[in-house]
Chains A and B, each alone.
Chain A
Amino acid sequence: MSSVITTDSLTKSFPRVTALDRLTVDVQPGVVGLVGSNGAGKSTLIKILLGLAPATSGTARVLGLDVATDGPAIRERVGYMPEHDCLPPDVSATEFVVHMARMSGLPAAAARERTADTLRHVGLYEERYRPIGGYSTGMKQRVKLAQALVHDPQLVLLDEPTNGLDPVGRDDMLGLIRRIHTDFGISVLVTSHLLGELERTCDHLVVIDGGRLLRSSSTASFTEATQLLAVEVAADDDTPHLTDPDTAVRDRLAAAGLTVRPDTAAGELGGRIMLVEIADEGTYDIVRDTVADLGLGLVRMEQRRHRVVEIFHDGDTDHLVDQQKKGSADVGAV
């Protein structure tokens, strides 16, 4: 299967900062997440992939076309949804998307037809005739997505599409992104600074930080390492014999064969939160039973969403893996 995006030692330097540093990735068709904290180089990469900014060195190909020479051909086949607001408030979604479809080269009649279809697919119905200024953030994001899809591209680049959405809106948007690939047959590159939300949506994740590639692998291999359960317990008056309930729980869980470590990234509060690696469905039961046996209160038990900086704060994958292993070993030895 041919690659959708390939980059080879792609570097982009600005006078004072290196936005991309010898980035080499190979993205296959599907939904691919590009994860990085703010300023990691995600938007710069998208600009280069659209052929809008020249790379300082290295090469990149999108849909088999060279970004340096085939910019217009690439932009004809690719859709782009920017991170920032980009909608004029005084026109309706229909008028706006029709205009953008024509800017992509669609004849007037086809532009109207595709606009009606696309707005329906992203979930905008009657409101599409009203001025965009009155839309909610979720509806605006859908219009932005629609203008990226209206010309039926082979690939869409979505820059932080869940930004500013509430949890429900976020889930809707992620579901929509999934459907762009499964139902529409369009490959997706979606960026986010939240690893957790992309885990559920993407087939493949690419993590960059400071313009360098930290990791590129299938979501399955990613989630193996990152499925964690945050547990917080509280002693109550009935259990005076437990001077240190956290240690007691930790020992018990370790004895039950689970890997436990303190949540180092959460700061002050972190002392009270334990991260338990989820081995299988039974992990939840073990945690529950352990806490109940000790007569403690279970304050928190939640699947943890990682922020990239949390996992990769050293910016080095090998080091990270070592650290995680070491961390586990330490806890196991206690």
Chain B
Amino acid sequence: MSVPSEAAAATPRTGVIHNIGYRNYTGPRLGRGYATRSLFVQSLRGAYGLGRSAKSKVLPMVLLAAMCVPALIIVALAVSTDADKLATDYPSYLSNTSTLFGIFLAAQAPVALSRDLRFMTVPLYFSRPLTRTDYVRAKFAAMAAALLILTGLPVVILYLGALLAGMDLGHNTAHALYGLGTAVLYSVLYAAVGLVVAAATPRRGFGVAAIIGVLVVSTTVAGIAWALIGGPTGSPSANWAGLLSPSTLVDSLSTWLFRLPQGDGPSWPPSNGAGIVFLAEFIVTAAASYGLLLRRYRKF
């Protein structure tokens, strides 16, 4: 090993530098983009407990199973009864299971952010080439991707099952894509809301409770508002209540975007103009959450 000349010059006191085996690193340094991608992969794996303890794999895997098993049952029934139509449409499968991925978000968003805050690991990231924006971007993308796997997988299962049962290809392809579109909407908005709440507290327990609280309370409030404005009696304007919670917002938005049949409850915008308002709220919420996250990490 050659010792840097500056080292030799700066330590005349020691005279001889003993080579005890320290090797300098001469290989590639792949920089910010690589670090950001590595953080994304690590966080995504972490959301499913991969690379973590056996205990932390339990909940995400149970939830993944809970999301997929009903889809498998629906497919099995459809194949065995030789049905010409699945028992559920792809987007509505997701609105019916939104509680499950809400729980997943509540459990895993704090894992993505609170740990680094609680154990004060964040400054170690920022003392590296990675910037605050890179960190937030990687975490946001990882959370959204983890949710997308959870919501997209049952849609894929349903679609494959529909093909297997020899159902109408065009209709099922279109609606499976609507389903995936809805899965993307859920993933982005849920990740945005969950991460902002998780970043507010270094305590994982508080984060879990707060995210569940936000999702449950807002959905309940939206339901109550819908009922009070006159939803049960068929007043279309009651559907404005869909703006009040993430789950009803995405539900309404996907109904409007993909021209799906209108369901019960606050699940469709009352007009095209209202649809634009719903879309605007979605974009503003996601963007504002991203901005708040960046702000949260500015002081590190």
The residues of A with any CB-CB pair to B shorter than 8 Å are: 1, 28-30, 50, 52, 72-73, 75-76, 78-80, 82, 84-91, 95, 99-100, 102-107, 110, 114, 117, 121, 147, 151-152, 181-185, 187, 203
Contacts and interface: CB of A to CB of B under 8 A. Distances in A.
Q: Specify which of A89, A102, A117 lies most central, judged by the most chain B CB atoms within 10 Å of its CB.
A: A102
A263 B29 CA distance: 54
A89 B116 CA distance: 11
A75 B52 contact: no
Given A52-B126, A102-B38, A182 B11 contact: yes
B80 interface: no
Contacts of A90: 52-53
Given A106-B25, A106-B27, A203 B11 contact: yes
B17 A183 contact: yes
Contacts of A184: 22
B127 A50 contact: yes
Contacts of B300: 52
Interface in B1-44: 3-4, 6-7, 9-11, 14, 17-25, 27-32, 34-35, 38-39, 42
B295 to A, nearest CB: 16
Q: Specify which of B9, B51, B115, B124 lies most central, judged by the most chain A CB atoms within 10 Å of its CB.
A: B124
Given A72-B131, A88-B119, A107-B28, A181 B10 contact: yes
A168 B206 CA distance: 40
Q: Specify which of A87, A103, A110, A185 lies most central, judged by the most chain B CB atoms within 10 Å of its CB.
A: A103
Contacts of B234: none
Interface of B: 3-4, 6-7, 9-11, 14, 17-25, 27-32, 34-35, 38-39, 42, 51-53, 115-116, 119-121, 123-131, 300
B31 A76 contact: yes
14 contacts: A29-B6, A82-B124, A82-B127, A84-B120, A90-B52, A100-B124, A103-B38, A105-B31, A121-B22, A182-B7, A182-B11, A184-B22, A185-B24, A203-B10
A185 B7 contact: yes
Given A50-B127, A75-B128, A182-B17, A29 B31 contact: no
A21 B280 CA distance: 48
Nearest to A85: B120
Label chain B's interface by main secondary structure.
loop
B53 A86 contact: no
A196 to B, nearest CB: 19
Contacts of B27: 106-107, 110
A183 B131 CA distance: 31
B128 A106 contact: no
A103 B10 contact: no
A185 B18 CA distance: 11
Nearest to A80: B127
Nearest to A74: B129
A94 B20 CA distance: 21
A158 B126 CA distance: 15
Contacts of A76: 29, 31, 128-129
B64 to A, nearest CB: 22
A106 B52 CA distance: 21
B122 to A, nearest CB: 8
B110 to A, nearest CB: 13
Given A117-B23, A184-B22, A105 B6 contact: no
Contacts of A106: 25, 27, 29-30
B95 to A, nearest CB: 35
B54 to A, nearest CB: 12
A103 B35 contact: yes
B10 A28 contact: yes
Nearest to A108: B38
B24 A103 contact: no
A110 B124 CA distance: 19
A1 B4 CA distance: 12
B119 A86 contact: yes
Nearest to A73: B129
B69 to A, nearest CB: 30
A174 B192 CA distance: 45
B6 A185 contact: yes
Contacts of A87: 119, 121
Instruction: Pick the 6 closest A-B CB pairs, nearest first.
Output: A152-B25, A80-B127, A185-B7, A30-B10, A105-B29, A185-B4
Nearest to B41: A102
Contacts of A95: 51
Contact of A105 (B10, B120, B123, B129): B129
A72 B32 CA distance: 8
B197 to A, nearest CB: 21
Contacts of A1: 6, 9-10
B6 A147 contact: no
A181 B11 contact: yes
Contacts of A187: 6, 10
A246 B106 CA distance: 71
